[in-house]
Amino acid sequence: MITPENFSLICVKFVKKGALMEAVVSVVLKSWDVMAIMAPYLLLGFFVAGVLSAFVPVSFIENHLGKRGIWQIVKASLLGVPIPLCSCSVIPVTASLRRHGATKGAAISFLTSTPQTGVDSIAATWGLLGPLFAIFRMAVAFITGVICGAAVEALTPPSEESGDECRDEDCPTCNRKSGVKKWKQIFVYGFGVLPRDIGRALLIGIIISGLLGATVPEDFFTRYLNSEWLSMLAVMALGIPLYVCSTGSIPIALAMIGMGLSPGAALVFLITGPATNAATIATVFQTMGRRAVIIYLATLSLCSLASGWLLNRILTAQVITEQVHHHAAEAGRFEQICALILVGLLISAVLPHKTKHCCHTD
C-alpha cells in the first residue's frame, strides 16, 4: 500500500536518479567536447610519431650523447622534445642511454625534456590550449632539459660518469636487425603501439576533464587558491609524485583552467606531472645516485615555477577559455569523425593485448 510517506520517498529516489543521470550526461558531453577538439590534432600527432619511430631509431640518439659537455646536453634535450615517449616509456630508454655511454647530464636532459612533450602532445596542446601555449610548452621542455642536465653534470665529478656496460646479446641498439618495412612501421607504431602506451592515461585524462568541468564550480581555484604562487606550489606538489603522460595531462590542465587556475599554474602541472613520478625518481636514484636525484628535482621545480610565472605575464586564462568555447561551437562533421576514430583507437588501447610495448621501437 502506498502511503504519503512511501510516495514521498519514491519521489525523492526518482529525483536523485534524475539528478544522477543528468550529471552523467553532462560529464559525457563535456568529455566528448574535449575529445572532438583534440582528435584531429592527436591523430596527426600519432602519424608523425610513427614517422619518427620508423626513421629515427634509438641507436641514433644513443650514439650522440656519450661525451661530457653542454653540446651533448643540448642535443639530448633537443632530440627529446619531439620524441613521443611518456613518463613510463622514457625510463627504459634513459637507462639504455646510460648503459651505452651517455653522460649523467645528457641522460637527465633527455629524461626531463622527453616526457614533457612529443609530436602527439604538441599537436594536442595546440588544439586545446592554443598555439602560444604549445610553442611556450615546447620551449620550456627544451630549456628545462638543458638546465637540469647542465646542473647535474656541473655538480657531478667526471670520476662518477662511468655507467654499466651493455652486455645484452639481444640488444637492438648493439645488434641492429633489419627486415621491418619502414612505411608499415609508421602505422604499426603511430596507430598501434603509441595509443596502447598512452591510451589508458589519455582516456582517463579526458574523463577527468569532463568530470571536473561538469561538477566543480568555475571559481574553485580563485576561491580557495587565489594566490598565484600558492596555486603553482599546490599543483607542483601534486604533479611531482603523480604519474600522468604529457598528452593525458592536457585535458586535465584545461579543466583546471576552466575552474579558475592560471595558465602558469597549469603549465607547472604539465611540466612536473609528465617529467617526474615515483618510478622516474627511483630509476634516477638507481642509475645515477642520490645527488643526481636531488639536483634533478630541485632544478626542475625551480624551472617549472619560473616558467609558470613567466607564462602568466604573457597569457590569460580568458584567452584559453574563449578559444575552447569557440572550437567547441565550431566542431563539425570532420571533428566528429576524427573523435569517433580516436575513441576506437583508445578503446582498442585499453583492451588486453598479448604483447606490451613500452618504449620507442627501433
Contact between 280 and 111 under an 8 Å Cβ cutoff? The reply is yes
d(CA 46, CA 42): 6
3-state secondary structure of 130: coil
C-alpha cell read off for 247? 598528452
Can you tell me the mean pLDDT for 8-27?
A: 65
Q: What is the pLDDT of residue 346?
A: 80
Q: Containing domain of residue 288, as a range?
A: 29-159+181-350
Q: Is residue 294 part of a domain?
A: yes
Q: Is residue 18 part of a domain?
A: no
What single DSSP character describes residue 170? T
Residue % of the chain over a pLDDT of 70: 70
**CA-based nearest residue to 280, from 121, 186, 148:** 148
Can you tell me the mean pLDDT for 113-142?
A: 87
Over the chain, what is the mean pLDDT?
Answer: 75
Give me Rg for the CA atoms of the chain.
22
CA angle 334, 37, 224 (to 5 degrees): 165
Q: How much helix, strand and coil, in percent to the nearest 5, is found in the chain? A: 75, 0, 25
Q: Is residue 24 part of a domain?
A: no
Q: What is the pLDDT of residue 303?
A: 94
Q: Is residue 173 part of a domain?
A: no
Contact between 110 and 94 under an 8 Å Cβ cutoff? The reply is yes
Sign (positive/negative) of CA torsion 150, 61, 110, 139?
positive
3-state secondary structure of 164: coil
Q: Is residue 118 part of a domain?
A: yes
> Confidence class of residue 138 from pLDDT cuts 50, 70 and 90?
very high
Q: What is the pLDDT of residue 139?
A: 94
Full-model pTM: 0.69
Place of cell 662518477: 160
> Confidence class of residue 46 from pLDDT cuts 50, 70 and 90?
confident
Highest mean pLDDT among 15-24, 74-83, 153-162, 311-320: 74-83
**CA-based nearest residue to 173, from 96, 83, 102, 109:** 96
Q: Is residue 291 part of a domain?
A: yes
Q: Is residue 4 part of a domain?
A: no
Q: Which residue has the higher pLDDT, 42 or 72?
A: 72
Q: How many domains does the chain have?
A: 1
State pLDDT tens for residues 236-288: 888 887 767 777 788 888 888 877 888 888 899 999 888 887 767 777 787 77
Q: Is residue 21 part of a domain?
A: no
Q: Decide if pLDDT at 57 tops 90.
A: no
